[in-house]
Amino acid sequence: MFDYETLKLIWWLLVGVLLIGFAIADGYDLGSAGLLTILGKNDTERRIVINAVAPHWDGNQVWLITGAGAIFAAWPTVYATAFNGFYWALLLVLFCLMLRPLSFEYRAKVEDHQKKWCDLGLVLSGLIPALIFGVAFGNLFQGYGFNLDNTMRLSYTGSFFDLLNPFALLCGVVSISMIMMQGAAWLNLRTSGVVEQRAAHVARILAAVVFVTFALGGAWVTQLPGYEIVGAIDANAAANPLNKTVEFGAIGAWMNNFQTYPLMILAPALAFIGSVGVMLLSKKSAALTFVSSSLCQAGVIATAGLSLFPFILPSSSNPNVSLTVWDGSSSELTLGIMTIVAGIFVPIVFAYTIWCFYKMWGKVDSAHIETNTHSLY
């Protein structure tokens, strides 16, 4: 089969694919929820927004669950470290993800004057996770305050409020704007009438915000001190985060991969091209607008991953214990079994997902909502 080094690379790529899949699929759910009160000015319009994502939102959330499960199995040390350091942030995300189905389900059952609370729940369930995911990625470039002693015991020196630094908050704005753009592009594709028109307009505005903030973030990264592994590292050796030397402090070190492998510039180029595509195509083709928005999501996430490689979770407390693709992975046997399982079941999941979209495709309009008052959210 594959050697240990290749398996580590495969699972780095697969985790990246899962994150991109989450941003594209569950991203339009979060984005649609976050834009609910902007795109829907009355109850009928808000029901149009909700029912445009209702057939798919719970299935799309599997991308997040699968991503978390993959990190747990493929990168157990990363999982343990991240969930310890991000405990309160992840608890807030979990609360929002629980708030979303409650708001969806109860909105159709409560009195009209109580629906505003369900609407608020949906908006918060879209905005807060998008912000936290962006802030988390922003902090990766600055390192987290954790340490490992010589017995691999973990200690965390940071706090929740340490995560809310200026660069991380800028990344949070990038995340919110691109997730909301994805939601607007989806509603432009799946609705009609005034909601469709508003969605196209909002998508253009958000695409411009993504373009500007992503460019600012990239310029900022070039001025950040980065991490570099010093000396050779045995990628086929058993994972041991303590068995390496890491230098921290070189300005622009996060750009080294792009200098070594110039083709990586395609990732940020894809993000910029996707955002420009949304701005130019939202009035002409809803389908191409959604494709452009999806490409932008992929480009932004790929840019972050390629910049950080091989680091997964850098440490600001002790750079030498930073977790990388080479020393934060599971055993060769575990990764081998996971690869076989993924090779069998991932195509099945993709086929099932495509079938669901095929069977439940179509635009949602006010006439459909008004004639199905009891069968829709």
CB 88 within 8 A of CB 344: no
What do you get for the CA distance between the two ends of the chain, in Å?
A: 49
> Does some domain include residue 277?
yes
Q: What is the mean pLDDT of the chain?
A: 88
Most confident of 43-57, 58-72, 76-90, 326-340: 326-340
- Residue 268: per-residue pLDDT: 95
The mean per-residue pLDDT over the stretch 169-180 comes to 95
Which comes out higher in pLDDT, residue 61 or 35?
35
CA–CA separation, 303 and 335 (whole Å) = 25
User: Looking at the domain assignment, is residue 308 inside a domain?
Assistant: yes
Task: Select the more confidently predicted residue: 230 or 85.
Answer: 230
Q: Which residues contact 166 (CB under 8 A, 6 or more apart)?
A: none
Residues spanned by the domain of 354 = 4-370
The model's pLDDT over 190-232, given as tens digits with 9 standing for 90+, comes to 888 899 999 999 999 999 999 999 999 999 999 999 999 887 7
Task: Name the nearest CA neighbour of 310 among 76, 67, 69, 78.
Answer: 78
pLDDT tens for 263-314 read 999 999 999 999 999 999 888 888 999 999 999 999 999 999 999 999 999 9
**What's the pLDDT tens digit per position in 320-349?**
889 999 988 888 899 999 999 888 888 887
Residues in the chain: 377
pLDDT at 374: 59
Say if residues 76 and 154 touch (Cβ distance below 8 Å): no
pLDDT-wise least confident of 52-61, 122-131, 283-292: 52-61
Query: What DSSP letter does each residue of 110-146 carry, written as one string?
Result: S-GGGHHHHHHHHHHHHHHHHHHHHHHHHHHTT-BSE
Q: How far apart are CA 27 and CA 273, in angstroms?
A: 19
Residue 376 lies in a domain: no
Rounded mean pLDDT of 357-372? 75
Give the count of domains, the chain: 1
How far from 183 is each of 14, 191, 204, CA to CA, in Å? 24, 12, 12
243 token code pair: 């068995």
Q: Distance (Å, rounded) from C-alpha 9 to C-alpha 30?
A: 30
**pLDDT tops 80 at residue 376:** no
Residue 375 lies in a domain: no
68: in domain: yes
- Cα–Cα distance between 10 and 338 in angstroms, integer? 11
Determine the pLDDT at residue 156: 82
Q: Is residue 377 a part of any domain in this protein?
A: no
- Residue 308 carries which side chain, given as an amino acid letter? L
Is it the case that residue 175 has pLDDT exceeding 80? yes
pLDDT at site 375: 57
What pLDDT score does 377 carry?
A: 64
More confident residue, 357 or 295: 295
Please say if the pLDDT value at position 369 is more than 80: no
Radius of gyration, CA atoms only, the chain: 21
Q: How confident is the model at residue 86 (pLDDT cuts 50, 70, 90)?
A: confident
Which sign, positive or negative, has the C-alpha torsion 173, 178, 181, 182?
A: negative
The confidence score (pLDDT) of residue 83 equals: 80
Q: How far is CA 190 from CA 32, 201, 375, in A?
A: 11, 15, 18
Strand partners, 148: 154
Amino acid, res. 124? L
Which pTM does this prediction carry? Answer: 0.91
Q: Residue 368 is which amino acid?
A: H
